[in-house]
C-alpha cells in the first residue's frame, strides 16, 4: 500500500474521459488499495483514478463521517449510474484536486449505481445522502468533469486561478 501524489487542477489528465477496465486484475486491486490509502491520508471521502494520473474507470469511497462507526471502504470498477431521482439535494462540495475551495452543487438526491467489485462481481445498489453526492462526483471525474463545471463561468475561472496558484506554490515547496 502506498500514498500517491494527487494531481491539482488545471491538469489535462483531469479533463480526459477514462477507459473502462477490461477485467479486474491484481494490478487494479493494488491501484484501488493505493487509492484508498491516498484518500484516507488526504483525508477525503472519495478518490477517482485520474486524480492519481491513471486514466481508467476506478473509484474508491468511504463516506462514514462518525469516528465511532467502523470504516466502510468501497472500491468500484466501471461504475455506472443506472437511475437518478428527480428530487435533488445540495451539498457543499470540495475536491482534493481543487484544494481548499468549496461550492454548493445540486445533484439528484438518489442514484442507482452498477459496478464491478474487487472480485470482479457485478453489484448494484441505491445511494442517498452524502454517498449519492460522492459517487456522482467520482463518476464525473471518470468523464473528465469537475464540480466547478456546474458553477457559473465566473466562479469556475476564479477557482481555477486559485487552484493554479496553489499548484505553483506546491511545485516550489
Ligand atoms: O473529500 C471529498 N469531499 C467531498 C465533499 C463533498 C462532495 C464530494 C466530495 S469528494 C472529495 C474527494 C474528491 O475530490 N474526490 O474526487
Ligand atoms: Ni474530486
Structural domains of the chain in order of their starting residue, each with its CATH number = 12-172 (3.90.45.10)
- Tell me the average pLDDT of the chain: 97
What is the tens place of the pLDDT at every residue in 117-127?
Answer: 999 999 999 99
User: One of 92, 124, 138, 169 is an active-site residue; which one?
Assistant: 138
Whose cell is 493494488? That residue is 30
Rounded to whole angstroms, the Cα distance separating 29 from 94 reads 26
Please work out whether the CB of residue 95 comes within 6 Å of at least one atom of ligand 1: yes
What pLDDT score does 113 carry?
Answer: 99
Residues 78, 48 contacting (CB under 8 angstroms): no
Within 8 A by CB and 6+ apart from 88, the residues are 106, 107, 108, 109
Q: Is the pLDDT of residue 1 over 90?
A: no
What is the tens place of the pLDDT at every residue in 41-97?
Answer: 999 999 999 999 999 999 999 999 888 999 999 999 999 999 999 999 999 999 999
**Residue 144 pLDDT level (bands cut at 50, 70, 90):** very high
138 is catalytic: yes
Centre of ligand 2 to C-alpha 124, Å, is: 22
What pLDDT score does 36 carry?
Answer: 98
What is the tens place of the pLDDT at every residue in 6-44?
Answer: 999 999 999 999 999 999 999 999 999 999 999 999 999
Please work out whether the CB of residue 137 comes within 6 Å of at least one atom of ligand 1: yes
What pLDDT score does 67 carry?
Answer: 87
DSSP tag of 114: E
Residues 60, 43 contacting (CB under 8 angstroms): no
Q: pTM value?
A: 0.98
How far is residue 31 CA from its own chain's centroid?
14
Q: Is the pLDDT of residue 133 over 90?
A: yes
Residues 119, 26 contacting (CB under 8 angstroms): no
Residues 132, 74 contacting (CB under 8 angstroms): no
Please work out whether the CB of residue 132 comes within 6 Å of at least one atom of ligand 1: no
Residues 49, 59 contacting (CB under 8 angstroms): yes
Residue 142, C-alpha cell as written in the block: 471518470
Amino acid at each position: 500500500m502506498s500514498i500517491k501524489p494527487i494531481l491539482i487542477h488545471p491538469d489535462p489528465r483531469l479533463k480526459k474521459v477514462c477507459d473502462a477496465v477490461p477485467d479486474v486484475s491484481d494490478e487494479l486491486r493494488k491501484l484501488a488499495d493505493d487509492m484508498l490509502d491516498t484518500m484516507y491520508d488526504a483525508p477525503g471521502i472519495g478518490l477517482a483514478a485520474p486524480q492519481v494520473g491513471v486514466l481508467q474507470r476506478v473509484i474508491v469511497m468511504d463516506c462514514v463521517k462518525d469516528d465511532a462507526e467502523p470504516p466502510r471502504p468501497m472500491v468500484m470498477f466501471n461504475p455506472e449510474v443506472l437511475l437518478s431521482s428527480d428530487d435533488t439535494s445540495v451539498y457543499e462540495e470540495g475536491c482534493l484536486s481543487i484544494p481548499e475551495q468549496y461550492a454548493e452543487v445540486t445533484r439528484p438526491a438518489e442514484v442507482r449505481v452498477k459496478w464491478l467489485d474487487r472480485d470482479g462481481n457485478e453489484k448494484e445498489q441505491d445511494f442517498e445522502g452524502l454517498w449519492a453526492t460522492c459517487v456522482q462526483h467520482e463518476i464525473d471525474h471518470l468523464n473528465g468533469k469537475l464540480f466547478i463545471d456546474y458553477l457559473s463561468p465566473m466562479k469556475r475561472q476564479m477557482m481555477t486561478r486559485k487552484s493554479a496558484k496553489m499548484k505553483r506554490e506546491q511545485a516550489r515547496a
